[in-house]
Each structure stands twice: as C-alpha cells, then as structure tokens.
Amino acid sequence: MDLLRQGLDSGAPWILILEDDAGCHDVNELSEGLKHLFLSAHGDGLVNLSESFTFDELGLTRLLTAEDRMRWSEEGERTVLCCELPATNTVCAIVYSRGAAQRILAQLERLPLEPVLPIDWKLNVALMRLHQSTGGSEISSWFVHPAPIQQRSMKAPGILLT
C-alpha cells in the first residue's frame, strides 16, 4: 500500500511495483514492451507482468480474450490478454494506471488489518469489492502472455520434507 501511495505521490501516470524475487531475462525487451503498452493502453487498469500460476490454475482461461488495442511490441511472442473480471496472478510484478491505483488503494484502506492475509489475497478482495461496487466499470485487468517477468521464488526446486 505504501508503494502505491509513493507512486501516486510522484504524479506518475503508471506505477510499476516489483517484488524482490522478480526476475527478467531481457530488461531491454521489458522496457520496450512497457513503452508500447503505455502508448497503446486505454482506460484505467492493472497489467499482470508475471505468471506464478497458470491461467488454468487460477480459473481464468475462459475469461481471457486477446486485447487488440493494446500491444506489448511491434512484433514478438507476447500478447496482451484482457480478463472479463478484475484479477491478478500474484503481486510479483504489476503495473497500475494512476486511476486504477487510486481506486485500488482506497479499497485496500477499507480492509481491516485482521485477519492478517497475504497482500495477494487482499488485493484480490479489493478488486472484487471494487468490481461489485461499480458494476465492473471502474478498472480493467490485463495479462501479458507469456509473462516477461518470472517470480523466482515460485520456480525454485521443491523441498522434500521427511
């Protein structure tokens, strides 16, 4: 929440928040992709840049369609998908439009501190409440696929406990 506040205080039109375990194989491609995304974006929303869980695992596959107006690059393998409902993969790597950040932060501030829950869960609760309170017209949710950022902690080898 503090990072959203700092981003809003900066006056930036877009706020990129990365977790400490975010990894990227090609920072130049990420930079170019974000530039194309910002230039082609329309409306307020959040863009998921990492994939910790598959769309099937999240139950989002049937809710996703190709977003023709938004582009990641002039060419390449990545596309932007629009989700019918606001959703996130995790908070590992999300870029928020200024308007979406304002609305999401207001919802997050309304949530009680207890029970203590991961921010991923609280963000999705805030998104669901925002969607319900506005009839779904406030913000959009997009996913860059395949994701340009990896959540390295989710890709670590498993630990066998005996």
Q: For residue 31, give both structure tokens.
A: 């930079």
**Statement: residue 113 has pLDDT above 60:** yes
**Statement: residue 85 has pLDDT above 80:** yes
> Rounded to the nearest 10 degrees, what angle do helices 98-110 and 119-134 cross at?
100
Q: Tens digit of pLDDT for each residue in 57-67? A: 999 999 999 99
Q: What is the C-alpha separation between 82 and 105, in angstroms, rounded?
A: 22
Q: For residue 79, give both structure tokens.
A: 């596309």
> Do residues 15 and 96 lie in contact, with contact meaning Cβ atoms separated by under 8 Å?
yes
pLDDT value at position 116?
85
pLDDT value at position 64?
96
Pairing of β 93-97 and β 14-18: antiparallel
